Structure 1
Amino acid sequence: MATVSLKSPEGKWIMSSAILASAMAFIDSTALNVVLPSLQQSLGASGADLFWILNAYLLMLAALILIGGSLGDQLGRKRVFMIGIFIFIAGSAACGLASSVVLLILFRIIQGVGGALMIPGSLSLISASIDEKERGKAIGTWSAITTVVTVGGPILGGALGDAGLWRYIFFINVPIGVIALIILAFKVKESRDTDGGRAVDYPGAVTIALGLAMLTFGFLRIPAVGLSHWQVYSSLIAGVLLLIAFVTIQAKSKHPMMPLTLFSNLTFSGANLLTFFLYAGLGAGMLFLSLNLVQVQGYDQLQSGLTFLPFTILMVSVARFAGALADKYGPRLLLIGGPATAGLGLLILSFVKQTNGPGDYWTTFFPGVIVFGLGMSFTVAPLTATVMGSVSDHFSGTASGVNNAITRIANVFANAIFGALAVVFFSSALEQQLKHTTLPVNQRKEIMAVAQNLGNAKVPASIRAGDKAAVAEAFHLSFINAYGNILRVSAGLGFLAALMAFIFIKNSAVKKDNSG
């Protein structure tokens, strides 16, 4: 297909549609964490339910995002992009109307299918349609604008959550998506590969989706039924076997969604291990910080969203400088120091106990957020450069897709494992707190029964008025204990990510011409 100039009318329409569609997905993901407390209260969701609401979307995204690009190459990038946007906004509207947790989880799955077609579609349309000499600038523009838009996600989510309008986090996608569809339908030409030689790896997609789902189910059932229950161990075993089957399929497939030959490059493997550990820690840390601020520390949801603003400002302002440093000196030192600094930030945040609310923010949470933000800011651009530059140009798109999928898989594992761990930590701390009360055994059992709701746990109605304040305080202290433990484990993952860079990443293995 003939390419067009970035400054031409068609180039501007292509960029507008790609940015609008991507903005939907990015706003949705960053805003949702902030409104989870409102959502939990409105739908009566347990702690495990929250992690399923997050994971239902991420599971489909992780499983299908790699074949989303292949479908676009075969069937037409514009067509598949439009189908993805349509499914995403249909799923979003259904999420906004969901009357129960089960329905919301189901509709989040639909959103994930749409996202898997839509997210790779935006960049592949830009790459295939914009002149080669302007392609880097186009992708840079897309990245910069979507990052700035993402800044508004937590703030928008907080404002809507405080107003009791958490459903509009989903509804807002509909007009944005419709505008993108209209632009694509009338202003953008179709683009596809003409060789048609690449098949779609459906067995791989189905196997990894089922494997991740079984592992997620197994981990999230642990707090309710225990590790020795047949539902838990059978799910975990099935999940591991399915992931082994996925690797086997990839090894034998002529057109694998995740070519295993790429991992023979130690720098590429190290970059993806770093990605997995760092983004697992990032996802868990940001989620539990959001829940802590609103459910325990007395922040409203808008204030909670604003606490992440320094982090995002650092990401926007420092990332370009970090990319330039990686170009000049190589990414190795940045990929050791960045994740280690991010881990240090999470460690600092883990020691914050009960505060007096937003007035204490600058002396409690702010230092950790700044250190964490600096670490991530010096990591993201060099990491992308390493992933793209460690393989031949022919595989750069596939390498980027693999790394994107691993980011999503890391989030799935983080939500599942940390979701189970949080309930275990919370229950254990709560049990210790209750030992110091004079409550009868039957009432202690009632209190422990609501522990799976974590920070949203409510004092049972049977508790005497004089004891309710003590039980509420026990809930708060137990959540802070669980939060601290989760963030310390998250910090450990940051340090582990730095170790992966130290062991595997070599500057000599990264092409400089691909790292900008």
Structure 2
Amino acid sequence: MRTTREPDGPASAATPADRVIGADTTTDTTGSPAPASAALLRRTAGVVIVGSVMSVLDMTIVNVALHRLSEAFHAPLATIQWAASAYTLALAAVIPASAWAMGRFGAKRTYLGALTLFSLGSLLAACAWSAGSLIAFRAVQGLGGGLLMPVGMAMVMRAADPARLGRVMALLGLPIIVGPVAGPVLGGWLVDSASWQWIFLVNLPVGAVALFLAAKLLRSDAPGSSASPPRLDVPGLLMLSPGLALLLYGLARGGEGGTFTAPDALLPTLAGTALVAAFARRSLTAREPLLDLKLLRDRTFRAGIVTLTLFTCGYFGSMLLGPMYWQQGRGMTATAAGLLGAPAGLTVGLVMQIASRRVDKVSPRRLIRAGIAVGALGMALTALQAGSAEAAPWRFVTASVVMGIGAGMVMMPTMTTASRDLPRARMTAASTLLSINSQIGASVGTALLSVTLTEAGTTPTGFRTTYAIAALLLTLALLPASQLPTRRP
């Protein structure tokens, strides 16, 4: 039988956005929101998947085209890289406001606004006339992209019955299959065969389809009571959004420079950490905080968050190593490096589809811990292969596929397990916390492994050491995963 978690506190502890229950759900005789129909759930998931594919494709396509953009705008590569960094910083700054926006305007309106903003940013980026304008328009894209993931996930989580949540989360993992595999190939083809503008213009037809489907298929939800509309926690927003942006900026600068002690990396990192810590303290005492951190008092949710933090640090941080190893360590082209990385990306997506459904039927702790162990083993095997300059490519690819099997068994199943038994009214806050956690974990891991590789050097020994540290981070995730539930859902 499905057990009920002990309450985290009185109902009034939820934020205004969390108390909003739109028409995506119905209400039973106890006043609790009941699951939506299967048809509505499929429609909602379908719309969110289309929007997610557009966002994931955009990130992977732009990364491939940075060198061509540097040539087109006659700007140093370090400057053009801010086209990617500006997107990430804007994304991190707007995610904290997603819960309030859903409570104030409704989830459907917020999602439509995010799609519109992302599509508009794509059009403006295609019309950029300088490196500065491109960076500014990428920030506009980031504001829209930052709302797509938490709002879309919240709509699906609120509409899904807990017993079906794993299957639904598996569907939300489909963009992870498409993005890393199709993005680099599509981006390279567009840049080589057409022009750099098309890496942004390709978002417009997808955005138009997503807007049409969202307007037609998403059920309108009430933005809250007109008598007491949710209030925006302005002090909290002024702490958390700039804090996250400064923290990610400092980590990025540290990764680029190969050290965290340089003033341009250390100062923003410390300032961002201080602002985030101040927000955390305020969130635990404020009457209507921007983000309800009291969710972390729930043992399962807390264990899931910490597990994902350590795993995403090691896994997403290591994603920068593969292309550098093939191009700088083995002298291969960017296209060849992308193709050699495709098998691991496909493996992650395919295994995720299976594992996310199995977590509805088996012990979450056993499944996720097994995935962490397999992922750590694959990362360690990759370290061994990277330590040899003459290792056959198929051996390296095989090791990365093993790592991909583990990643597919961990990420979506952990998110599902962490949020499955939460009160449905708190799913909005949960999805926002999970989105912020993913951004921070990936940024910390990328910066840490970048600094490690810079200090160790882009030699076989350097790559082996860096991959070994990534394997250690994955292994550490076994500790919090031991606190996940052993019972079947």
TM-score in same-fold range (> 0.5) = yes
Cα distance 1:220–1:142, how it changes in 2: closer, same or farther (>3 A)? Answer: closer
In structure 1, distance between residues paired with 2:261 and 2:351 = 47
Cα distance 1:45–1:424, how it changes in 2: closer, same or farther (>3 A)? Answer: farther
SS at match of 2:477: helix
In structure 1, distance between residues paired with 2:301 and 2:473 = 19
Counterpart check, 1:382 vs 2:362: no
Q: What is the CA distance between 1:82 and its match in structure 2?
A: 1.9
1:210 aligned to 242, 246, 250, which one?
A: 242
Q: Which runs of 5+ in 1 are unaligned?
A: 427-477
1:400 aligned to 389, 407, 431, which one?
A: 431
Counterpart check, 1:409 vs 2:431: no
Q: Give the structure 2 partner of residue 333 of structure 1.
A: 366
In structure 2, distance between residues paired with 1:187 and 1:224 = 47
Counterpart check, 1:362 vs 2:342: no
Q: Percent identity?
A: 25
1:498 aligned to 460, 478, 482, which one?
A: 478
Q: Conserved in 1, the CA contact under 8 Å of 2:150 and 2:435?
A: no
Deviations 1:343-363 (CA, angstroms, capped at 9, x unpaired): 232232234257679xx4213
Cα distance 1:259–1:197, how it changes in 2: closer, same or farther (>3 A)? Answer: same
Q: Conserved in 2, the CA contact under 8 Å of 1:337 and 1:498?
A: no
SS at match of 1:252: coil
In structure 2, distance between residues paired with 1:74 and 1:52 = 32
SS at match of 1:500: helix
Deviations 1:350-397 (CA, angstroms, capped at 9, x unpaired): 34257679xx4213x212211111111221243123211353444344
SS at match of 1:213: helix
Q: Conserved in 2, the CA contact under 8 Å of 1:72 and 1:192?
A: no
Cα distance 1:46–1:275, how it changes in 2: closer, same or farther (>3 A)? Answer: farther
In structure 1, distance between residues paired with 2:137 and 2:47 = 24
Deviations 1:245-268 (CA, angstroms, capped at 9, x unpaired): 121221222233432222123332
Q: What is the CA distance between 1:244 and its match in structure 2?
A: 1.5
Q: How does 1:10-159 map to 2 (within 5 A)?
A: 17-36=47-66, 38-39=68-69, 52-98=82-128, 101-125=131-155, 139=168, 142-143=171-172, 145-150=174-179, 151-159=181-189
In structure 1, distance between residues paired with 2:377 and 2:165 = 33
SS at match of 1:190: coil
Q: Give the structure 2 partner of residue 507 of structure 1.
A: 486
Q: Conserved in 2, the CA contact under 8 Å of 1:347 and 1:487?
A: yes
Q: What is the CA distance between 1:113 and its match in structure 2?
A: 0.8
Aligned pair count? 452
Deviations 1:118-169 (CA, angstroms, capped at 9, x unpaired): 23333445567x6979985994584265344334234323444555755533
SS at match of 2:291: coil
SS at match of 1:234: helix
Larger radius of gyration: 1
SS at match of 1:256: coil
Task: Supply the AA of the counterpart residue of 1:498.
Answer: L
Q: Give the structure 2 partner of residue 489 of structure 1.
A: 469
Q: Conserved in 1, the CA contact under 8 Å of 2:456 and 2:465?
A: yes
Cα distance 1:371–1:197, how it changes in 2: closer, same or farther (>3 A)? Answer: same
Deviations 1:79-137 (CA, angstroms, capped at 9, x unpaired): 22222112112222333444655444433322221112223333445567x69799859
Counterpart check, 1:250 vs 2:283: yes
Q: Give the structure 2 partner of residue 432 of structure 1.
A: none
Q: Which runs of 5+ in 2 are unaligned?
A: 1-21, 25-35
Q: Give the structure 1 partner of residue 386 of structure 2.
A: 352
Bigger Cα displacement from structure 2, 209-218 vs 184-193: 184-193
User: C-alpha root-mean-square deviation of aligned residues, in Å?
Assistant: 3.7
Q: Conserved in 2, the CA contact under 8 Å of 1:5 and 1:134?
A: no
In structure 1, distance between residues paired with 2:416 and 2:380 = 27
Q: What is the CA distance between 1:177 and its match in structure 2?
A: 0.9
Cα distance 1:253–1:59, how it changes in 2: closer, same or farther (>3 A)? Answer: farther
Q: What is the CA distance between 1:301 and its match in structure 2?
A: 3.5
Q: Give the structure 1 partner of residue 341 of structure 2.
A: 308
In structure 1, distance between residues paired with 2:116 and 2:90 = 16
In structure 2, distance between residues paired with 1:78 and 1:266 = 31
Q: Give the structure 1 partner of residue 33 of structure 2.
A: none
Q: What is the CA distance between 1:497 and its match in structure 2?
A: 1.5
Deviations 1:458-510 (CA, angstroms, capped at 9, x unpaired): xxxxxxxxxxxxxxxxxxxx3655444332222221112123223x33425xx
In structure 2, distance between residues paired with 1:177 and 1:149 = 16
Q: Conserved in 1, the CA contact under 8 Å of 2:317 and 2:449?
A: yes
In structure 2, distance between residues paired with 1:506 and 1:51 = 42
In structure 2, distance between residues paired with 1:165 and 1:257 = 42
In structure 2, distance between residues paired with 1:342 and 1:500 = 16
Greater share of helix residues, 1 or 2?
Answer: 1
Q: What is the CA distance between 1:333 and its match in structure 2?
A: 2.4
Bigger Cα displacement from structure 2, 152-161 vs 397-406: 152-161
SS at match of 1:378: helix
Q: Conserved in 1, the CA contact under 8 Å of 2:321 and 2:463?
A: yes
